[in-house]
Homo-oligomer: A and B are copies of this chain.
Amino acid sequence: MGLIVQKFGGTSVANVEKIRNVAGKAIREKQAGHDLIVVLSAMAGETNRLIDLANSASANPDEREYDSLISTGEQVTISLLSIVLNDMGYRARSFLGFQVKILTDQSFQKARISTIDTQAIQKELNKGSIVVVAGFQGVDEENNITTLGRGGSDTSAVALAAAFKADRCDIYTDVDGVYTTDPGICAGARRLDKITYDEMLEMAMTGAKILQPRSVEMAKKYNVPVYVKSSFSDEGGTLVTKEDKEMEREVLSGITYDRDQAKITVVHIPDRPGVAANLFLPLSERNINVDMIIQNASSQGFTDLTFTVSKKDMKAAQKIVEETAKEIGAQNVEVDEDVAKVSIIGVGMVSHSGVAAKMFKTMANEGINIMMISTSEIKISCVIQRKYTELAVTVLHDAFHLEKKK
């Protein structure tokens, strides 16, 4: 007996038939005696359809109106699930952001949840209702609708689990858990039973698309146990949780890759204080996120600076950087779209030496050139030529023996 939050993504609610399947999973927990809050995404493809509508209405849609538009998809799915549940004899009630109320800041498109009022939902739970909440959305203090960014429904679910001190937050998706790497490109990929918040966060940040990074941060902060499960099978599942002794023994948990990368190098920059700020300030003002940054050691008063951006931002970034390069007297700007980032992640790295060396050696053996390297305590990322992505992932998976349970 406890309180469980379930979250279902777009492919799990893609049509009424699939919504019936979701209802079945909700009812099973309800029948086991749990209080239940179900968080839904929009039907697969619907949010993209709405985004296309916004973009056909304006090249630069008003941010407030954009959020009001793209938040309608979740309103459809939560109403439909509630209709199905009521039809099956279970009292169910849908809640939109304003009805909960899920208060956020006013950063449209990437709002952050500040508080969740538990009163209205608690009242329904006390009546025995299954509560169905719209993911992805909240309201600011002026009752404007805000959205939480791509994958924001994960964050909605974890935030509700934290607010209600839920026993579990079950994230149902189209895969049956978190894998050591993408089974689509590496046959040896193995499903993990457990992974730490920190590792999951690094995996989410470096290319794994299972959970929104912010939801993992929040789960860690409030110590919410998160289960990643399949909507379409009862097998498997991965628990995302805090570190424990058993987990510490493994060197690596996973290998991720990200092909959505472009590399920009500013060549032969006069090495004066402030040049990096000059380069990156105009990019941040245009909301272009810079991922990795490498500055080569200065030689004879000149330096090279290389950084990566998302592919979609490449053209805009290049234009801005070329202007700045001229102003600061750099020689030229080189761009490379044919790159990818491969990362290895594991809390075990901290206590195992030679992990980085082994990674570099493994790739060198295959003739894969490493263009950029960046590290954190539990992660090493390398930028390589795009065409070697699959090869790098496969040989690293082998080299670190991820295919077998250690």
Contacts and interface: CB of A to CB of B under 8 A. Distances in A.
B53 A68 contact: no
Nearest to A78: B68
Contacts of A66: 79, 83
Contacts of A84: 57-58
Given A61-B86, A68-B96, 4 more contacts: A57-B80, A58-B86, A59-B87, A65-B79
Overall SS of chain A's interface: helix
A80 B69 contact: yes
B69 A79 contact: yes
Interface in A46-75: 50, 53-54, 56-62, 64-66, 68-69, 71-72, 75
Given A56-B16, A57-B19, A143-B98, A62 B76 contact: no
Contacts of A120: 143
Interface of A: 16, 19, 50, 53-54, 56-62, 64-66, 68-69, 71-72, 75-76, 78-80, 82-84, 86-87, 92-94, 96, 98-99, 120, 143-145
20 contacts: A19-B57, A53-B80, A54-B83, A61-B86, A61-B87, A62-B83, A62-B92, A64-B93, A65-B79, A65-B82, A66-B83, A68-B75, A68-B78, A68-B79, A68-B82, A69-B79, A69-B80, A69-B83, A96-B145, A98-B98
A150 B82 CA distance: 23
Contacts of A50: 76
A92 B58 CA distance: 14
Given A50-B76, A69-B80, A16 B57 contact: yes
A318 to B, nearest CB: 26
Given A94-B68, A99-B143, A143-B99, A16 B53 contact: yes
Nearest to A20: B57
A100 B60 CA distance: 26
A266 B187 CA distance: 75
